[in-house]
Structure 1
Amino acid sequence: MRYLTRIVKWSLVLLLLPLSYLIMSLLLTSITVNKSHQNDSNIETIYLNTNGVHLNIVLPIAQIDPALLRDLKYFDEDSYLSFGWGEENFYIHTPNWSDLTFRNAISALFVQSSTLMHVSMHRVKQSDWIEIKLSKTQLKQLHNYVRHSFKTDSHGFKKMLIDQGYTQSDDFYKAHGNYTIFNTCNTWVNTGFKESGLKACLWTPFDFGLIRKYE
Structure 2
Amino acid sequence: MILRRLAKGLAGAVGSLVALLVLAVILTARPGDRALYPPKAAAQVIYVVSHGWHSGVALPTAALTGPGAGPALRDIAVRFRAYPTLEFGWGEARFYAATPTLAQFDWRLALDALFTPGGSDGVIQVVGLDADPRISFPRADILAVPVSAAGLERLVARLEASFARVDGHPVDVGPGLYGPSLFYRGAGRFSWTNVCNHWTAGLVNAAGLPVAPVIATLPGGLILDLEWRSGATAVP
Kindly, what percent of the aligned residue pairs are identical? 25
| Unmatched tracts of structure 1, length 5 or more | 1-14
Q: Aligned-pair distance for 1:24? A: 5.3
Match of 1:105 in 2: 110
* Counterpart residue identity of residue 122, structure 2: T
Map of 1:134 onto structure 2: 147
Superposition TM-score, scaled by structure 2 size: 0.73
Q: Indicate conservation of the 8 Å contact 1:30/1:209, yes or no.
A: no
Distance change in 2, residues 1:193/1:168 (3 Å): closer
Aligned position for 1:23: 21
Contact 1:65 1:140 in 2 (8 A): no
> 1:153-186, CA deviations, whole angstroms, 9 ceiling, x for partnerless residues?
0x20100013x32245111000011111111100
Q: Per-residue displacement from partner, 1:16-42 (whole Å, max 9, x unpaired)?
A: 9xx68x935983599572174213225
Q: 1:144 to 1:31 in 2, by over 3 A?
A: closer
Letter in 2 for 1:115: G
CA contact (8 A) 1:25 1:205 kept: no
1:23 aligned partner, one-letter code: L
Distance 2:81 2:40 in 1: 34
Match of 1:53 in 2: 53
Whether the 8 Å contact between 2:25 and 2:212 is mirrored in structure 1 is: no
Shift of 1:75: 4.7
Q: Could you tell me which residue of structure 2 aligns to residue 10 of structure 1?
A: none
Query: Superposed, which structure 2 residues align to 1:62-211 within 5 Å?
Result: 62-65=62-65, 67=70, 68-72=72-76, 73-76=79-82, 78-111=83-116, 112-127=119-134, 128-153=141-166, 155-162=167-174, 164-201=175-212, 203=214, 204-211=216-223
Q: 1:70 to 1:100 in 2, by over 3 A?
A: same
Q: Post-superposition shift, 1:92? A: 1.7
Code of the aligned partner of 2:41:
S
- The Cα RMSD (Å) is 3.0
| Aligned partners of 1:41 and 1:134 also within 8 Å | no
Aligned residues: 197
Per the normalisation by structure 1, the TM-score is 0.79
Counterpart in the other structure of 1:39: 39
The structure whose residues are more often helix, as a share, is 2
Deviations 1:68-111 (A, max 9, x none): 532213252x1110111110010122222222222101111111
Post-superposition shift, 1:65? 2.8
Do the aligned partners of 2:173 and 2:184 also contact (CA within 8 Å) in 1?
A: yes
Q: What code does the residue aligned with 2:128 have? A: M
Name the SS for the 1:86 alignment partner.
strand
Q: Structure 2 stretches of 5 or more lacking a match?
A: 1-12, 135-140, 227-231
